[in-house]
Each structure stands twice: as structure tokens, then as C-alpha cells.
Amino acid sequence: MASVGIIGLGSYVPPHEMSNEDWAKIVETSDEWITSKTGMKRRRIADKETNTSDLAVEACKNALDDAGLSPDDIDLVILATSSPDVPLSSTAGIIQEKLGCSDCGAFDINAVCAGWVYALDVGARFAGTPGYGKVLVVGSEIYSRILNWQDRTTCVLFGDGAGAAVLGEVEDGKGILGSWLTSDGSGSGVIEIPAGGVRVPIPSDNFEEGMQYFHMDGRAVWNFAIEAFPQAVLSALERVGKSLDEVDLVIPHQANINIIKTGMEKLGLPMEKTFTNLHNYGNTAGASVPIAMREAMDEGLIRPGTLVVTAAFGGGLAWGANVIQF
């Protein structure tokens, strides 16, 4: 198989910014509490007229520009999201139409906050094969619409945004070297929206107000994430025959600065070997890794020769990592 890598990378966040102080006017919280518990200071919030597909299209345009390509060059669109425009049809199809891609496939992947690492692995398996020369992989989320803004344990954590990558053939020995993905469905209730599917339709006899919003068991997520993050990094490296000493940069899902610090400590790596931007954007779920990767590249932390591991963990429970040689 051809070596496949990221040949274009783009991101987009909505312009409206919401600070910790803004949240303190809505729910009982404070800048000190949010900062100490999560590391977050600000996040971007989409306006009511903007959909998940709209953020994705802007990120895709930036990725295409970075690759020097047009929408007609794309053979497949893969979207990672857990906040789609509509339950069906596919939001990837909506993106395809808005972007102007012609004659290409499109589908969604829902692995919640691990969506990007899942989608990147799937896209890499298509790219460079007959009929799929260039693949567009995008993570896009508008969690501000699926949160209960009166639940202070969740509403202050998330922001909106999108990141996208164009995948194509690269020189041998470079690109996406491999991935490691896993899940544990016994923990599916740890992070979920209880209603809105066939289990609890809205409305139904089983529906109660509030079940249509995002729910999370914070303690269970912490216990899961601090183990899942380092496990994913090490497992992905082992799969591709690389050692931790060879890694230049780890880009984790931007869920919580304390989870990242604990995970890096378990790996025996200094924080200088990771990149975080959650202080500016909060947790953008399936979009957090590509947004962070684009910013790390802009800051000169990713350049030719850099070995990067991206790792993410979230609802499902799902977690995984990609190893990328630039």
C-alpha cells in the first residue's frame, strides 16, 4: 500500500468567545474553580444560525487551501462528530454539498471525543487506494447546543470548533504509520445523551426533561481517561515499531489539563513534549485534536521530520492513538 499522510491541515472556530467570568454570571461557578479543575479560561460558541456542517466547511476550505487542492479533488469525506446537524441524513453529506465536492462518498463516524483518531485511521486506509486518491477527514462539533446550560458540572467544559485534514500519498517512511483503536461498551452510560434515539424517543413515556442533554459521570471519566491516554500512546507506538524516546510531540484530546498532566507523567514525558490549547477553546470533543495540531504546526512545533502521536478518549467508551511521521 502507498504511504499516506496529511498533505493539508485546517481549522476553524466561531468568533464569539465566552470566558469563565461569563459563565459565572449564568451558573454558580468561578474563574478560579474552572481554571484549577480544568485549565480552561475561554471557549468559542457558535451562533444560533451556525450548524456543525458550517464549521466543518470552513475548516475543510482551510485544509484544501493548505494542500493546494480544490473540492473537486476530493474522493471521500469522513466526518467525526457527536453533535450532527440532524440525526439523519449524514452531516458529512451536508458538508459535501456545501463544500461543492462532486462525485465523492461521504459518511459520519461517531466515537464522541475519540472521533478524530478513529476517522483518521479509517481515512488513511482509503487514501491512496484505487478511486480514493484524496480523502478529507474532518472533526466538527457544536456542543453548546447539546449541553444543559444549567448543569455547572458540564456546561462550562465545552466549546465549538472544527479541524480538517486532507490525506494523500506521501514519500515512503512518512505519513500515518499506524493507529491503535479500542472501546469498552460496558461504559457507554458514562458519557451519553440519554434521550433522542430509539431507546427513549422524544416525546415518550420514558422521557423526562433534561434527558435530551449531554450527561457525564465526571469521576468515572477521570478514572478512565488517566489510564486510557497513556495506554493508547504506548499501544500505537508498539504497533508501528516505534519507541517513546523517538516521539517529538504528543497531541492529546483537549479534555482537561489535569488529565493531560497525569497522562504525561504516567508516560514519563515532560509537558514540553505535549501541546495544549484548551485554555483558549475548552473541550471541542472530536474537533480538539486537529485544531491543536494545526496550531502546533503554526507555532513551528510540527515540521518535516517530527514524529507526532495523537491520542483521544471519550464516550463509548472509546479511545485510541495515531502515529504520524511528518
Q: Tell the residue number behind the cell numbers 478524530, with chain if given.
A: 116
Active site residue 283: yes
78 and 297 Cβ atoms separated by less than 8 Å = no
- In the set 51, 60, 253, 256, the catalytic residue is 253
The whole-angstrom separation of Cα 304 and Cα 173 is 12
Yes or no: say if 314 and 226 are a contact pair by the CB < 8 Å rule.
Answer: no
Cis peptide bond prior to 243, omega within 30° of 0: no
Q: Are the C-beta atoms of 288 and 278 separated by less than 8 Å? A: yes
Which strand (E) or helix (H) includes residue 265? Answer: helix 257-267
Catalytic site residue 16? Answer: no
Burial readout 3-36 (b: 16 or more C-beta within 10 A, e: otherwise): bbbbbbbbbbbbeeebebeebbeeeebeeeebee
What is the identity of the amino acid at 198? V
Residues 118, 68: contact at Cβ < 8 Å? no
Q: Tell me whether residue 131 is exposed, middle or buried, using C-beta atoms within 10 angstroms of its C-beta: 0 to 12, 13 to 18, 19 or more.
A: exposed
Cell of 64: 484544501
Helix (H, G, I), strand (E, B) or coil at 181: strand
End-to-end alpha-carbon separation of the chain, Å? 18
**Catalytic residue among 113, 155, 256, 322, which?**
113
Q: Take residue 210 and report the three cell numbers written for it.
A: 433534561
Tell me if residue 277 is catalytic. Answer: no
The residues carrying an active-site annotation are 113, 253, 283
